[in-house]
Amino acid sequence: MEFVARRVFYSENAWAEAWGSAPEVSPLFQRLGGNVEPPDQTVAQAAFFIAGALEPYGFQLFNNGGLPLLERRNGPWQIEVLLRPGPRAVRGIYVPVSVHLHLSHSGVREVREKFWRPASRAPKVVASCDIGQLEIPPCWVIWNIANGVGEMSTAAQWLKRLALPWLDAFEDSLEMHRRILLGDLPFVDQETGLELMLAEFGLDYASQYLNRALAYDPELGRKVRRRTDQIVRAVVPGGRGTHLAHNLAVIAASYGLL
């Protein structure tokens, strides 16, 4: 079972257990894998192949601390596809990788610098996920690329089918604006949606978005307005925390949105 090209898990815990487990391999299988490239070279070859498949879409291949990284930049947007090798590879037989997507926006970092503590550490990340999370139903995937081109081609096709439409929704300003209003941008929480509104469309649009959201949820609206008043009276806004009402209030107080 461990040697199939694509293993799907509908629980992150199940994925993590499989990711950290060493497959049982007979001595014969181990000998069969002895004359092929070591796992790190296999991962590098996979990255090179996938980079070629995605080059028409603006991606380039880099190394991030030794890990293969495909990157595309478009204005303030930075899109990364990271191939992360698993810890339990078996040379020539089982070379597991996960495919993670990371989406960042330089303007979001600038927005966050006003209330992040310390400001110099304000992140620019907007969304991050395993590519399987874009499937229906969402899942986590382990790719076994030991057998070469076939598995690499499959991974490239999945990236084209799932990742590119997701990324395009962000880079199209009108589409992003519409989907933020609908709450329909996968892996973007309400706070990040408000920060994107500030970064992409400015104070007026962000204020309209926030007031509309709070009118739709009166209980949340009461909490956010009360917390915003407290933060304003304290003069110095606190940084983002774990609660939605507090986070929206911090952003609102920092930019005078209410």
The structure tokens listed for 97 are 């990788």
Single-letter amino acid code for the residue at 8: V
pTM: 0.86
The whole-angstrom separation of Cα 84 and Cα 142 is 10
Paired with 198 in beta bridges are: none
pLDDT in tens, 54-109: 999 999 998 777 778 899 999 999 999 999 998 888 877 888 999 999 999 999 99
**HEC states along 234-253?**
CCCCCCCCCCHHHHHHHHHH
Query: pLDDT tens for residues 111-158?
Result: 999 998 888 889 999 999 999 999 999 999 999 888 777 778 888 898
Q: pLDDT tens digits, residue range 173-214?
A: 888 999 898 888 889 999 999 999 999 999 999 999 999 999
Task: Dump pLDDT digits (tens) for 213-240.
Answer: 999 999 999 999 999 998 888 865 567 7
What is the distance between the alpha carbons of residues 241 and 204, in angstroms, rounded to a whole number?
A: 25
Q: Which amino acid is at 84?
A: R
Q: How far is residue 61's CA from residue 58's CA, in Å, rounded to a whole number? A: 10
